[in-house]
Structure 1
Amino acid sequence: MVAPAHLTDRHPTVSPERLIAQLVPPPTFNDVSFASYRPDPSEPTQAAAVGFGRRFCEEAAKRREGKRKMFGKREALPGVGLYLDGGFGVGKTHLLASIYYTLAAGPAPAAFATFGELTQLAGVFGFTECIDLLADYAVVCIDEFELDDPGNTTLISRMLSQLVERGVSIAATSNTLPEQLGEGRFAAQDFLREINTLSEIFTTVRVEGPDYRHRGLPPAPEPLTDAQVTERAAVAAGATLDDFDALCAHLATMHPSRYLTLIEDVQSVFITGVHPLDDQSVALRLVSLTDRLYDAGIPMVASGSKLDTVFSEEMLAGGYRKKYLRATSRLLALTAAGMESSDPA
């Protein structure tokens, strides 16, 4: 029996070339398409969103191809925009990845990134250089466009405006809270106000429905003991085993752009001693790690407090509420998968 590895022993680095190579959909969406999206028959907005996505791809390809000028040369037309507005787990990322793959199959490249990854890219390359880097792309897909950081939102808005002028189309998803659906298009209004220079080119499409990750799932399971988690980790291939506090402290030693490399080749994550957090910086780093684990489809098994209690009521009432609720939804899905895959029975 080989002792499991520890994430806290890893000290990854990420080169600029690696950041560019990461501008693709998460592994869990490697094989998706518009055809594989299964709309809920009781939610007509989901089927409608597929149609909007297909038409967006057709128009984006035309805009990238541009109009013919003298001597047979072509000039790209300004890009178009699509904004998928909806709650958690309604298939927005599936649709966004389908847009990516459809346009990436054409002559121009496509980019897919979370809002955070895009700000990291701008930080590494610089504002102007980042625009030059993406100017020849057919589309930039942004998953979970965030409105809780005015500085970053303004930065990315300016960048996207210039990309649109150079023929790059933009597709984005929202992070609307379930209870805000139907409240006068709350998220869409916030989004368009923050990126007012882009508002005229965006078509806003609502995608409604319950979180598919919770369909048929029971509430958060009772956590295992530290000993049970350790025993399961010892017999799991490609597993890591870490103490919760030690892992949180380790995450603070690196930029979140390294978290994807941190979990590279890991097949399952085991964590002991989980407890509610009272430090927002620690909580936000955990959110970033959770997103990377979820995107990579890496299951989790934990001991200590229930994972739906990690983020305090005070945090859930604050400005990062959307991030914490999304992370909780994903933690429960990862835990359900982890408990099933590691069950010795």
Structure 2
Amino acid sequence: MSPSESSSPQPDPTAVPPADGDAATPAALTARAPHVPAERLVAEMVPPPRFQGARFDTYIPDAKQPSQAEAVQVLSDFADSIEGGRAPEKRRWFARKPAAPKGPRGVYLDGGYGVGKTHLLASLWHSTPAPAERKAFGTFVELTNLVGALGFQQTVRTLGEHRLLCIDEFELDDPGDTVLVSTLLGKLVDAGVALAATSNTLPGKLGEGRFAAADFLREIQGLSAQFRPLRIDGEDYRHRGLPDAPAPYDDETVTRTAYRTPGASLDDFPSLLEHLSTVHPSRYGAMCDGIEAVCLTDVQAVPDQSTALRLVVLADRLYDREVPVLTSGKAFDELFSEEMLRGGYRKKYFRAISRLTALARDAGALVADGSR
């Protein structure tokens, strides 16, 4: 799908000459404002590329955290309990109502950042004995976007034909969306759909038990009995035993690397933030189609909460697609103000910092390749 052009500033190809005569001018995310049809939103509700190979036997539990190995076993059993094949046919008028399945119809993975919740959720999706078209996997934001695109009743009809719905990063900070999704999940449970969800314990509440689980079960109201909370303890694997993220590079290094790297994009950070305000977050994934590396100059602290939340969504889409991010300017741990990191959206900001840091580490290889 070809992105439409916008009037946002483009990279200046004369700012830094390419490293060699064959280097192509990099793409610009600020030139992309794709249209995404609703059918694509449904078709793309599968584990993202980063987790296409995720399986229970590729999850490496931390030996110091027994809850991780326990989670693998519980989820594996849950996958085996889900009916495969087609959704049940509609009952005839006088047919006896089928017996409700025994036990909870959902699991909720409760834990902090980087303990492997998304890996486990994707493993559940892959291990459930149903064809791909009968399973759905998406973030909370992607699910609300789907309702916006299809309408509530059509979303119920579409997802009601599934055997499993996995929701990553369930968000508890928007009461309206939470009620919407809670109502949707109630309809899907009635249709026999099994559910699984994750969200993050708030940073300030780590070590205080099941804070996130308690919030989740309260917010989904009448559905709480359908979910079994599953605590997963541990430290962020993205930083476990690894060196700190590399410091930002200078503008010239970032620009030269963008010209030298096939499929790279090159944008200045303030212009990209401005452009994100003109593109619906449901289209950020499509905006990254074909991009192999994101190069950003002049990274600065984000100016306000709305901008910060849009950047979080972009960070998630880049992380899902394993797109390295090379930057100049401020480090990623300086993106969000102290006030933001103490506020109600702080779990999103900490997740974005964690994921962008991992992508920045991946981007170091692009610079190293060019220095040989």
- TM (norm. structure 1) is 0.94
Q: Measured at CA, do residues 104 and 7 of structure 1 come closer, stay the same or move farther in structure 2, by a change above 3 Å?
A: farther
Query: In structure 1, what is the Cα distance between the partners aligned to 2:170 and 2:132?
Result: 27
Deviation at 1:32, TM superposition (A): 1.2
Moved more, 57-66 or 293-302: 57-66
Identify the match of residue 202 of structure 2 among 162, 174, 177.
Answer: 177
Aligned to 2:76: 54
* Unpaired runs of at least 5, structure 2: 1-22
The one-letter code matched in structure 1 to 2:191 is R
Say whether 1:30 aligns with 2:52. yes
Matched, 1:114 2:136: no
| Separation of aligned partners in 2, 1:29 and 1:47 | 19
The aligned runs of 1:258-297 (5 Å cut-off) are 258-297=283-322
CA offset at residue 73 of structure 1? Answer: 9.7
C-alpha separation in 1, matches of 2:133 and 2:292: 34
Amino acid paired to 2:38: P
Letter in 1 for 2:77: R
* Residues 1:39 and 2:61 are matched in the alignment: yes
The aligned counterpart of 2:5 is none
1:34, CA displacement in angstroms? 1.1
Give the Cα–Cα distance (whole angstroms) in 1 for the partners of residues 40 and 303 of structure 2. 33
Alpha-carbon distance in structure 1 between the residues aligned to 2:305 and 2:203: 23
- The one-letter amino acid of 1:219's match is D
**Residue of structure 1 equivalent to 2:279:** 254
**Alpha-carbon distance in 1 for matches of 2:129, 2:320:** 20
Is the counterpart of residue 15 in structure 1 residue 37 in structure 2? Answer: yes
1:107 to 1:148, Cα distance in 2 relative to 1, 3 A? closer
Gaps of 5+ in 1: none
Q: Does 1:96 align with 2:114?
A: no
1:117-132 pair list within 5 angstroms: 117-132=142-157
Q: CA deviation at 1:136?
A: 1.3
Q: Paired residue for 2:335?
A: 310
Amino acid at match of 1:90: V
1:160-175 correspondence runs (5 A): 160-175=185-200
Q: CA deviation at 1:178?
A: 4.8
Paired AA for residue 278 in structure 2: T
Deviating more after overlay: 146-155 vs 28-37? 28-37
1-structure distance, mates of 2:129, 2:159: 13
Gap change, CA 1:125 and 1:190, over 3 Å in 2:
same
Cα deviation for residue 77 of structure 1 reads: 3.7
Shift, 1:342, TM fit? 2.7
Query: How big is the shift at 1:59?
Result: 2.3
CA distance in 2, matches of 1:138, 1:102: 12
How many Å separate the matches in 1 of 2:268 and 2:152?
38
Aligned in 2, Cα 1:64/1:187: closer, same or farther, shift over 3 Å? farther
Tell me, yes or no, if the aligned pair for 2:79 and 2:129 is still in contact at 8 Å. Answer: no
Task: Give the whole-Å Cα distance in 2 for the aligned partners of 1:323 and 1:141.
Answer: 19
2:15 aligns with none
Find the aligned partners of 2:234 and 2:132 in 1 and give their Cα distance. 35
How many pairs align? 345
Q: Is the Cα contact below 8 Å between 1:60 and 1:169 reproduced in 2?
A: yes
Q: Secondary structure at the match of 2:54?
A: coil
Q: Which of 147, 154, 157 lines up with 2:182 in the alignment?
A: 157
1:236–1:342 CA contact under 8 A, matched in 2: no
2:139/2:169 contact within 8 Å kept: yes
2:266 partner SS: strand
CA apart distance, 1:341 = 2.8
CA distance in structure 2 between the aligned counterparts of 1:107 and 1:124, rounded to whole angstroms = 21
1:244 to 244, 269, 294: 269
Tell whether the 8 Å contact from 1:220 to 1:307 is kept in structure 2 after alignment. Answer: no
How far apart are the structure 2 equivalents of 1:118 and 1:174? Answer: 14
Q: Which moved more, 1:179-188 or 1:82-91?
A: 179-188
**What is the alpha-carbon distance in structure 2 between the residues aligned to residue 60 and residue 178 of structure 1?**
33
CA distance in 2, matches of 1:4, 1:145: 35
Q: 1:179 & 1:214 partners in 2: Cα distance?
A: 19
Cα distance in 1, alignment partners of residues 84 and 256 from structure 2: 57
Secondary structure of 1:147's partner?
coil
Cα–Cα, structure 1 residues 108 and 15, in superposed 2: closer, same or farther, change >3 Å?
A: closer
Residue by residue over 1:41-74, the C-alpha shift from the partner in whole angstroms, topping out at 9 and shown as x without a partner, is 111000000111012112222898779x999999
Identity percentage of aligned residues: 51
Please say if residues 63 and 167 of structure 1, whose CA atoms lie closer than 8 Å, have aligned partners that are also in contact: no
Q: Shift of the alpha carbon at 1:103? A: 2.0
Structure 1 residue 163, shift from structure 2 partner:
0.5
Q: Aligned pair in 2 of structure 1 residues 106, 260: CA closer, same or farther (>3 Å)? A: closer
SS at match of 1:197: helix
Which residue number in structure 1 is paired with residue 351 of structure 2?
Answer: 326
Counterpart residue number, 2:9: none
How many Å apart are 1:179 and its aligned residue? 4.8
